[in-house]
Every structure is written in structure tokens, then in C-alpha cells.
């Protein structure tokens, strides 16, 4: 199973879209390695890369939300934190070789990466587009044709 970028995932901001493309690619590397039954150490390196990039990306979004006083910033930031908390629990279980931990962890990468973009991040982009059209996030809206 691979996560495929298409322009329907675009939230209309070049920098954030770029981050999301990289996150999908990093998640795909984890999913591929897991499918190929990669060694634990190899998988841990890929997970580390995903976490590092995600931390940078989250801080980018969170700075934007704080700067613009985005009304749903608390909920959105809580979703970022919840992901990291859930991930930490699963990584600990994975390190302890708990049964099912590897599958649960890889499933989290797949579902979270995609679902967060099309919900929380798109809502943020829509709000920015509406209230701060000159702040960098702009361009396409949900359902607009790509072109
Ligand atoms: Fe986000
Ligand atoms: Fe994001």
C-alpha cells in the first residue's frame, strides 16, 4: 500500500504542500520497509526521519496559526500532540517487540499522514484563504479544478 500524492491533497500553500509531499514519501518508505520485513534498526532509522521532518513541519503550521490567531489552533495543535503521543506509545511497544506493534505503528503512519492533511490542514488553509488572503496560504480551494 502506498500513499499517492495528487493535487486534490493540495491545500494551496506551496511550502506546506511541499512538506506534505515529503511526509507522504517518508511514510511510504516506512510502509515499504515494513512490508519487506525490514530489520528493526532499518525501520527505526526511517521512523526517525519521519519524526524529525514532522516536528519541523508541525512547528511551521503552529507558528502560522499563532501568528494569525487561528480560532481552531488549540484543537489543531492538540491533534499534532496526540499524534506524537500515540506514536511514542507504539514506538515503545515496537522496541519491546510487542505482538502487533509494528503493524499498528505502520498503520498509524499511513492513516494519520493522509487524514490529517485532508481535515485539520485543509480547514486551516481554507480559513487562511478566507481571512488572510495575502498571508501566503491562498490559491486553490477545496474541490477547485487543478490547472
Ligand atoms: Fe497540521
Ligand atoms: Fe500538515
pLDDT tens digit sequence for 65-85: 999 999 999 999 999 999 999
In angstroms, what is the C-alpha Rg of the chain? 16
The CATH T-level fold of domain 12-131 is: 1.20.120
Residue 69 neighbours by CB under 8 Å, 6+ apart: none
Q: Quick one: pLDDT at residue 145?
A: 37
How many CA within 13 A on the CB side of residue 141?
A: 6
User: What residues have a C-beta under 5 A from ligand 2, the ion?
Assistant: 121
Considering every ligand atom shown, identify the ligand nearest to the alpha carbon of residue 124 and give its number.
Answer: 1
Confidence of residue 138 (pLDDT cuts 50, 70, 90): very low
Considering every ligand atom shown, identify the ligand nearest to the alpha carbon of residue 120 and give its number.
Answer: 1
For the question of whether the overall pTM of this predicted structure is more than 0.85, the answer is no
Return the higher-pLDDT residue of 20 and 109: 20
Q: What are the pLDDT digits (tens) for 85-129?
A: 999 999 899 889 898 988 888 888 888 888 899 899 999 988 988
| pLDDT surpassing 60 at residue 53 | yes
Q: Is 69 left (phi over 0), alpha (psi -120 to 50) or beta?
A: left
Considering every ligand atom shown, identify the ligand nearest to the alpha carbon of residue 75 and give its number.
Answer: 1
Distance CA 52, CA 38 (A): 20
Q: Rounded to the nearest whole angstrom, what is the distance from the C-alpha of residue 117 to the centroid of ligand 1?
A: 7
- CA-nearest of 27, 23, 26, 29 to 11 is 23
Q: Quick one: pLDDT at residue 137?
A: 57
Distance CA 129, CA 116 (A): 18
Distance CA 56, CA 61 (A): 9
Q: Rounded to the nearest whole angstrom, what is the distance from the C-alpha of residue 135 to the centroid of ligand 2?
A: 17
Q: Rounded to the nearest whole angstrom, what is the distance from the C-alpha of residue 58 to the centroid of ligand 1?
A: 6
Considering every ligand atom shown, identify the ligand nearest to the alpha carbon of residue 76 and give its number.
Answer: 1
Out of 17-21, 69-73, 104-108, 140-144, least confident range:
140-144
> What are the sequence ranges of the domains in the chain?
12-131
Amino acid at each position: 500500500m502506498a500513499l499517492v500524492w495528487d493535487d486534490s491533497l493540495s491545500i494551496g500553500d506551496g511550502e506546506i504542500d511541499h512538506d506534505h509531499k515529503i511526509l507522504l514519501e517518508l511514510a511510504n518508505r516506512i510502509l515499504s520497509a515494513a512490508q519487506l520485513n525490514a530489520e528493526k534498526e532499518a525501520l527505526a532509522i526511517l521512523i526517525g526521519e519521519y519524526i524529525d521532518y514532522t516536528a519541523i513541519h508541525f512547528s511551521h503550521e503552529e507558528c502560522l496559526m499563532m501568528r494569525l490567531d487561528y480560532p481552531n489552533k488549540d484543537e489543531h495543535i492538540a491533534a499534532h500532540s496526540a499524534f506524537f503521543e500515540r506514536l511514542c506509545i507504539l514506538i515503545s511497544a515496537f522496541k519491546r517487540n510487542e505482538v502487533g506493534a509494528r503493524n499498528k505503528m505502520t498503520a498509524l503512519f499511513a492513516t494519520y499522514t493522509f487524514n490529517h492533511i485532508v481535515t485539520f490542514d485543509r480547514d486551516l488553509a481554507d480559513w487562511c484563504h478566507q481571512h488572510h488572503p495575502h498571508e501566503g496560504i491562498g490559491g486553490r480551494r477545496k474541490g477547485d479544478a487543478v490547472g
